[in-house]
Amino acid sequence: MAAAASGRPPRRGSWLTLAASIGAPLALGQVMGIWSLPDVAEWYPKLDKPSWTPPVWMFGPIWATLYTAMGYAAHRVWQAGAGQSVLGLYAVQLALNLAWQPLFFKSHDLRTAAIDITALLAVLVPTVRQFYKYDVLAGRLMVPYILFSCFAAALTYRIRSLNGPHVE
């Protein structure tokens, strides 16, 4: 399947490329989480939130799991011969994912956070489609991420509607 999708032979991966593929999103997500922690602890509890909002402690383990799966999926499509266009989509969606946290928690800009997560979903859907073309397991590994991103988008939109576009 990989040769048909890319026209190239599969690449050989190493433990180092696998570690980098998983470690980069995990480390970047952790940096954003630590940077946002004061606002998560002090500002976020003051917001009006819907009854279906998960407890704050759940987000760290969920995102760690999702970042691990998406990093492994990216490694698999790279091994399958995916080129710059597919990996570029992956990089753009990761950048949009990482931008959401400071927009929401640091800037308290719920409007821009909602725009960002909408853009994330707009890039994530074609990313997942491309991953499926190169490696079915890689595509499947991205499904929980896209589902949770849809949930996070709904939560963002609802919190924005309850609190306004910018909350101090």
Domains detected in the chain: 14-163 (1.20.1260.100)
Per-residue pLDDT at 1 = 45
Per-residue pLDDT at 108 = 95
Residue pair 105/168 in contact by the 8 Å Cβ criterion: no
Side-chain-side CA neighbours of 49 within 13 Å: the count stands at: 14
Regions of the chain where pLDDT drops below 50: 1-4
**Which phi and psi angles does 13 have, rounded to 5°?**
-100, 165
pTM listed for this prediction = 0.89
Per-residue pLDDT at 3 = 43
Per-residue pLDDT at 8 = 59
Per-residue pLDDT at 11 = 64
Sign of CA dihedral 118, 121, 126, 130: positive
166 SS3 class: strand
